[in-house]
Amino acid sequence: MPLKLLRSDLHDYHSASNLLFNNQIKELIANGRKIYHFGFGESPFTVPEPFKRGLIESADRNEYLSVEGLHELREQILNFHEKYGDFSHFTVEDFVLGAGSKEIIYHIMNVFGGEVLLVSPAWTSYFPQTQLSGRPAIVIEPRKENRFVPTKADIETALRLCDAELPKVLVLNSPNNPTGVVYTESEVEEIVLTCRKHKILILSDEIYARLTTKKFTSFAKLYPEGTIVTSGFSKWASLGGWRAGYALFPKELAGLRMAVASAGSHSYTCQPAPVQHALTIGLKHLDELDDYIQRTTKVLSLAGHFCYRKLNEVGVTAVEPDGAYYFMPDFEICRQYGIEHGQKLCDRLLEEANVALQPCDPHYLRPRNELTTRFAFVNFKGKDAMDAVDVDKTYSEKEEAEFLKKHAKPLVDGISALVEFVKKLEG
């Protein structure tokens, strides 16, 4: 009899679907196929110059560091958040640094002694992380009419499925992957009041906080005693491969922070020393970094609005994106032409239109038969667009299209291919 090498609760465990899909598409492209790749969320922009200079200066730093991170780096991160008015109650003692915020989120779930509440749709790794940590997960199902933002009623409905004796943590992500929604201050207030009433902790994944032209409100600002913030440099600073993330814990959760730090010390040891020193140097140039943020965010805002508008014109509906570089178009209009589920839709798009998209389906906690996709509007080289954009200009729809055609042509061509696919189905 063969040995059972996997835990029984991991029988349907799988690799991160977005990473697996990206590797498959990259292989097709490497073999010469032209594909409009909207299926992977990686910044299209170059590394900010202050961080480049910092890494060059820090290449010979090879020491082991604490899992909490360099003291000066923690000070610089707090200064960065203070500049944008995110929160002011955290101190340098409240940090854990990790190889990306993803790893820290997993360790939080792993040491937490209760139940995890997730919001549908959700980033593809939250639920597998709960599986890997052996943690019960309850899924909250907000409505599209509410922009997929959970209401008090949504949260309290999910609580009926929970064990009343166990502590709970609600994982939230604004700006959101995959919807592109940014929670308004009133929406944040309603969620905070509900969580405070029911003694629910919040794990606020704020990795996209800088990538919005809207007002961003951190849950930690309104619920300081009960919110853990995770963030990093992968998205706004285009440092995905540097694996530089961090978490901030309120003083009230110091015991949980110490447990997460301990888990980090037994797994990844520390965030790489050259990266920490490079970030410390780079964060001293906040004005230069702010110009970078304003330019990249403006480009992404134009790209998101253009994609949303063009698909909406042919009946593909969505909540208009406010931030990050995603939105979640619903191709329900295609169902009448024999496309019954998201995977079939994406297979046909790849085969017939050379467009790569991921179905939201169960990987993003959506129903398998739903025709929603996770659309990342970053399939272009961003430096040219970043240099050319006017951050103070209000672009008309015509000017928006002309700008993107000149500076983000693969995006415009890919949208044209998608629009043509829908039109052909309609005959």
Which residues 6+ apart lie within 8 Å of 120 measured at CB? 139, 140, 141, 142, 148, 364, 365, 366
**Which stretches of 281-403 are assigned E, i.e. beta strand?**
326-327, 355-356, 358-359, 373-376
What pLDDT shows up at residue 5? Answer: 76
pLDDT digits (tens, 9 = 90+) for 287-340: 999 999 999 999 999 999 999 999 999 999 999 999 999 999 999 999 999 999
- pLDDT tier at 28 (50, 70, 90 boundaries)? confident
- pLDDT tier at 411 (50, 70, 90 boundaries)? very high
Max Cα distance, the chain (Å): 69
Across the chain, mean pLDDT equals 95
Phi, psi of 51 (to 5 degrees): -80, -35
- pLDDT tier at 1 (50, 70, 90 boundaries)? very low
Mean pLDDT throughout 177-196?
98
- pLDDT tier at 205 (50, 70, 90 boundaries)? very high
Q: What is the distance between the alpha carbons of residues 156 and 145, in angstroms, rounded to a whole number?
A: 18
Q: Are 373 and 329 in contact (CB under 8 A)?
A: yes
Determine what percent of the chain is predicted with pLDDT higher than 90. 90
CB atoms within 10 A of CB 46: 15
Q: What is the distance between the alpha carbons of residues 173 and 208, in angstroms, rounded to a whole number?
A: 8
What pLDDT shows up at residue 3? Answer: 60
Q: What is the distance between the alpha carbons of residues 67 and 278, in angstroms, rounded to a whole number?
A: 17
Degrees, nearest 5: CA angle 307-313-315:
105
Give pTM, 2 decimals.
Answer: 0.94
What are the b/e assignments for 4-25, b being 16+ CB within 10 Å?
eeeeeeeeeeeeebbeebbeeb
Q: Residue ranges per domain, the chain?
A: 14-43+288-426, 49-284
Better-predicted residue by pLDDT, 282 or 32: 282
Determine what percent of the chain is predicted with pLDDT higher than 70. 98
Which of 67-76, 201-210, 231-240, 356-365 is the least confident region? 356-365
Q: Which CATH number describes the domain made up of 49-284?
A: 3.40.640.10
Q: What is the distance between the alpha carbons of residues 209 and 323, in angstroms, rounded to a whole number?
A: 8
Q: Is 90 exceeded by the pLDDT of residue 14?
A: no
pLDDT digits (tens, 9 = 90+) for 116-169: 999 999 999 999 999 999 988 999 999 999 999 999 999 999 999 999 999 999
Architecture of the 14-43+288-426 domain: Alpha-Beta Complex (3.90)
What pLDDT shows up at residue 16? Answer: 67
Mean pLDDT throughout 95-117?
97
- pLDDT tier at 265 (50, 70, 90 boundaries)? very high
- In a 13 Å sphere around the CA of 232, the CA atoms on its Cβ side amount to 27
What pLDDT shows up at residue 135? Answer: 85
What pLDDT shows up at residue 141? Answer: 97
Closest CA to 245 of 254, 237, 253: 237
Better-predicted residue by pLDDT, 41 or 43: 43
